[in-house]
Structure formats: structure tokens, C-alpha cells
């Protein structure tokens, strides 16, 4: 309780009144909130909203000394001196790096590295199988019961390239092997026994399906630009469940329109906060990148999901339990169990995403 009391004292506003909560959860959808409340101990006063920080309304002070977000919230810079900790309920932490760099904030920051590895890998598999079998087009043809133009492909014998063979990438490899695919890995660290690793330049032309499992760093934004995507074989399927900033949306759209790519599956998006808020509010986006994503989403050779790959009953329960473990540890020790590394210490190969 000493750490919790210090957090409450630290959070005193200009009037001397404490903040109404000890921790405030942004982007907490209904099922997640129920699980979080299930694991929360009584001494911790928690507030919840499904909104991002920008949708919630930004005040002079944060609603709690400890803020928990996912990946779509844009934390206000002026909150930094008033915060005692930030917990991102995601395996990716590039947005926390950006906030610390921008504000110079030196405060405990935590993340959840292990809660959804299988869930995200299964979402990637769901996407590439839907695209191989032309599922969006099959569904559209149900009303006429015609089968013209619906002939798809099987997984067995096709080459799956996994770029980023960390915690999630390993699960994607396991699934691909189970489907009797020829699985190749692209990763500077060769730590998965029995997997054939290749350089990216060699792997791209071999891929029937490419699944992205990389984490996002300052050095690999737009890693999959037009030239690299063009190096994929004609008709290849591109699936990204990692970070939207890794792939150029305009290039993906161009290569779909030209017929070079056979399909695209996306669960993550560049400029995702604007995309999410514009869709929820029903307004036209200002960003050309977001407009390219919306144009892709209307195609029957594209599958887009709302950054939902993590969202299974099993992973939401793990996520909620681990979030409360993190907060309990912060309360007891002033630090998180799973700390966001400094950017210079972040491994560039790890598949951190949801």
C-alpha cells in the first residue's frame, strides 16, 4: 500500500484534491473490462472507457496517475509530469517509445509480451486461407449460387515466408507446418530449430504467402515499400498482423490494382488512430494513407479486420490477468514486471503487434 499511497500523493492536482482513480483503462472494450474487473483487487480504484484518449477528451490532468492504453490512444504530452506509470495492454510498445522520446518522461512503462501469440498467429492463418480460397468472393456469390471465378488454392505444398520469427512468428511457423506448407523464416536471429532461414531478398520471390511478424522500430518503417513488395512472386498473398507502419498502404493498393498481388490481409494499419476514429465517427479521413486502406477494404481480394487478432476468450483472459499482475507489481515495487525496453535495447526481430 505504500507505493499506492505515494502514487495518490503524486497525483494531487493543483487544488490539492487527489485524482478520482488509481488507474484508468482506455480502449477497454466490454469483454475486456469484465475480465479486468474480475482480477482487480479491491484497494485499486479503476476507471474504464472504450474510447481512446483523444475521443475521451483531454484535460489538463490525466484521470489517474497510472494510465493503461492499447495502441490507438495518443497520450497528451502535458500529462507526462503527472503520471506515475503507463501500461500498454499490447505486445507492441513503439507508441510508448515515441511518447517517452517526445516528452523526455522518465517513468515506469510496462507492456504484455506473451498473452496473445497463438491468437495472432491463428488470425494470420485465417486471413491467408480466406484469400487463397477467395472467401470474400464466395460469400458475395452465395445470393446467385454461381461458382464462376471462385476457384482457389490449397495450403499444402505452398511456400509460407514468415518475416520476424519471434514469439508470434514461431506460432505462425508451427501452423504453416501443420498445414503441410513449405515454411521459410526471415530473421537476423536463427533460434528456431529445423527452420530454414533466408535473407529477405531471397525469400520474397519464393513466397506464395508472406506473413509479417516483425516489431516496429524507427529503422524499419515502410519496410515493405513498393520495390520490396514488387519482388514477391505474381499472385502472392501478403498478410500483416504485426504493425501497419511496416507496409506502405499505397503500394499495396497499387500492386493489387495491377494484379501483381493475389490478395492482402490486414489487421493493423499505418495512421491507425485516425483510421479508427474516422470509421467510428463516420467521417471522411484527411490522410491519403487512410484513404488507401479504405479503398483496399472494399475489394474482394482483401480482408481487413479491426486490429482484432489478439481477441480470443483465452487471450483476453490472459491479457487481463497479466495487466493486473503488472499493476500489482507496480503498486508493491514501483516497477512493472515486463518493462518496456529502452529503444536501443529493443530487438528488431521480435513479432510484437496487437
* CATH code, domain carrying 21: 3.40.50.720
pLDDT digits (tens, 9 = 90+) for 192-206: 999 999 999 999 999
Domain co-membership, 101 together with 132: no
In a domain, 132, yes or no: yes
Q: Per the domain annotation, does 92 fall within a domain?
A: yes
Q: At what angle do helices 117-132 and 313-333 cross, to 10 degrees?
A: 150
Looking at the structure, tell me whether residues 150 and 122 fall in a common domain: yes
pLDDT at residue 122, rounded to an integer: 98
Torsion of CA 49, 50, 54, 56, to 10 degrees: -40
- Whether residues 160 and 297 fall in one domain: yes
101 shares its domain with 127: no
Which among 69, 70, 77, 67 is positioned nearest to 101, based on CA atoms?
77
> Residues near 97 by Cβ (< 8 Å), separated by ≥ 6?
340, 343, 346
Q: What is the pLDDT of residues 263-297, one digit of tens each?
A: 999 999 999 999 999 999 999 999 999 999 999 99
Residue 4: what pLDDT? 52
In degrees, to the nearest 5, what angle opens at C-alpha 236 toward C-alphas 231 and 237? 120
User: Looking at the structure, do residues 105 and 134 belong to the same domain, yes or no?
Assistant: no
Residue 318 lies in a domain: yes
CA distance 300 to 278: 22
The answer to whether residues 65 and 85 touch, using CB atoms and an 8 Å cutoff, is yes
CA dist 53 → 56, 72, 74, 132 (Å): 5, 8, 6, 38
User: Are both 134 and 271 inside the same structural domain?
Assistant: yes
Enumerate the β-bridge partners of residue 224.
247
Same domain, 183 and 82: no
Q: Which of the residues in the chain have pLDDT under 50?
A: 1-2, 10-16, 344, 346-354
Rounded distance, CA 40 to CA 183, Å?
42
Task: Determine the structural domain holding residue 54 and report its residue range.
Answer: 2-115+314-345
> What's this model's pTM, rounded to 2 decimal places?
0.89
Residues 21 and 160 in one domain: no
pLDDT score at 7: 54
Angle between helices 313-333 and 30-39 (to 10 degrees): 40
pLDDT on residue 179: 98
Angstrom distances, CA of residue 36 to CA of 28, 39, 114, 195: 9, 5, 17, 38
Give the DSSP per-residue string, 332-344: HHSS-SSBPPPGG
What pLDDT is recorded for position 58? 81
Classify the phi-psi angles of 170: left when phi > 0, otherwise alpha if psi is within -120 to 50, otherwise beta: alpha
How many domains in the chain? 2
Under 8 Å between Cβ of 47 and 63: yes
Q: What is the pLDDT of residue 19?
A: 76
- First and final CA of the chain: distance in angstroms? 32
Amino acid at each position: 500500500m505504500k507505493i499506492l499511497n505515494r502514487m495518490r500523493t503524486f497525483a494531487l492536482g493543483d487544488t490539492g484534491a487527489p485524482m478520482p482513480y488509481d488507474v484508468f483503462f482506455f480502449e477497454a472494450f466490454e469483454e475486456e473490462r469484465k475480465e479486468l474487473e474480475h482480477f482487480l483487487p479491491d484497494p485499486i480504484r479503476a476507471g474504464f472507457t472504450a474510447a481512446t484518449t483523444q475521443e475521451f477528451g483531454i484535460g489538463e490532468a490525466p484521470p489517474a496517475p497510472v494510465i493503461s492504453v492499447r495502441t490507438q490512444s495518443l497520450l497528451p504530452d502535458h500529462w507526462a509530469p503527472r503520471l506515475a506509470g503507463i501500461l500498454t495492454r499490447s505486445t507492441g510498445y513503439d507508441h510508448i517509445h515515441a511518447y517517452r522520446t517526445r516528452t523526455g518522461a522518465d517513468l515506469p512503462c510496462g507492456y504484455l509480451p506473451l498473452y496473445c501469440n497463438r491468437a495472432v498467429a491463428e488470425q494470420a492463418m485465417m486471413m491467408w486461407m480466406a484469400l487463397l480460397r477467395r472467401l470474400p468472393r464466395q460469400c458475395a456469390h452465395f445470393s446467385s449460387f454461381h461458382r464462376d471465378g471462385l476457384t482457389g488454392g490449397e495450403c499444402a505444398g505452398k511456400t509460407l515466408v514468415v518475416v520476424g520469427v519471434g514469439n508470434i512468428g514461431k506460432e505462425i511457423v508451427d501452423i504453416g507446418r501443420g498445414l503441410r506448407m513449405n515454411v521459410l523464416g526471415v530473421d537476423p536471429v536463427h533460434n528456431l530449430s529445423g527452420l530454414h532461414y533466408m535473407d529477405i531478398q531471397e525469400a520474397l520471390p519464393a513466397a506464395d504467402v508472406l506473413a509479417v511478424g516483425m516489431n516496429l522500430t524507427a529503422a524499419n518503417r515502410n519496410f515493405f515499400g513498393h520495390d520490396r513488395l514488387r519482388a514477391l512472386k505474381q499472385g502472392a498473398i501478403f498478410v500483416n498482423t504485426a504493425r501497419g507502419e511496416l507496409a506502405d498502404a499505397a503500394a499495396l493498393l497499387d500492386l493489387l490494382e495491377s494484379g501483381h498481388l493475389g490478395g492482402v490481409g490486414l489487421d493493423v494499419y499505418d495512421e491507425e488512430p485516425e483510421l479508427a476514429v474516422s470509421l467510428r465517427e463516420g467521417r471522411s479521413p484527411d490522410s491519403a494513407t487512410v484513404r488507401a486502406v479504405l479503398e483496399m477494404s472494399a475489394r474482394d481480394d482483401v480482408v481487413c479486420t479491426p486490429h482484432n487478432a489478439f481477441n480470443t476468450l483465452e487471450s483476453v483472459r490472459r491479457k487481463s490477468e497479466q495487466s493486473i499482475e503488472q499493476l500489482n507489481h507496480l503498486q508493491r515495487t514501483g516497477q512493472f514486471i515486463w518493462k518496456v525496453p529502452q529503444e536501443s535495447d529493443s530487438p528488431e526481430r521480435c513479432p510484437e503487434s496487437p
